[in-house]
Amino acid sequence: MYAEILALLLTFMLNLPFGYWRSKTKKMSKEWFLAIHLPVPLIVVLRILAQVSWTHIPLFFFAFFLGQFSGGRIGKLALKT
């Protein structure tokens, strides 16, 4: 159980810089696509190493998108200052 929680936190934290990068790219560009999809293989490996059940994948989707969204918000706030 602790490995699953740690894996979820790492999923969120791994996506923060990618969300930040995504917020600074043109939507639907190659860089935007890479910012969204590059962390996916890392998270799959992390999930396998943590031996997380298939039933918990929706939690990883949520952590993934929350990290992307939060990183994007940080990027947009950084542009305003």
- pLDDT, tens digit (0-9, with 9 covering 90-100), for 40-78: 999 999 999 999 999 999 999 999 999 999 999 998 888
What is the rounded CA–CA span in Å between residue 41 and residue 29? Answer: 20
The CA R_g of the chain, rounded to the nearest whole Å, is 13
Q: Is residue 67 a contact partner of residue 16, using CB atoms and an 8 Å limit? A: yes
What is the C-alpha separation between 47 and 30, in angstroms, rounded?
Answer: 26
Q: State the DSSP H helix or E strand holding residue 25, giving kind and residue range, or none if neither.
A: none
pTM of the model: 0.89
Output the pLDDT for position 75: 87
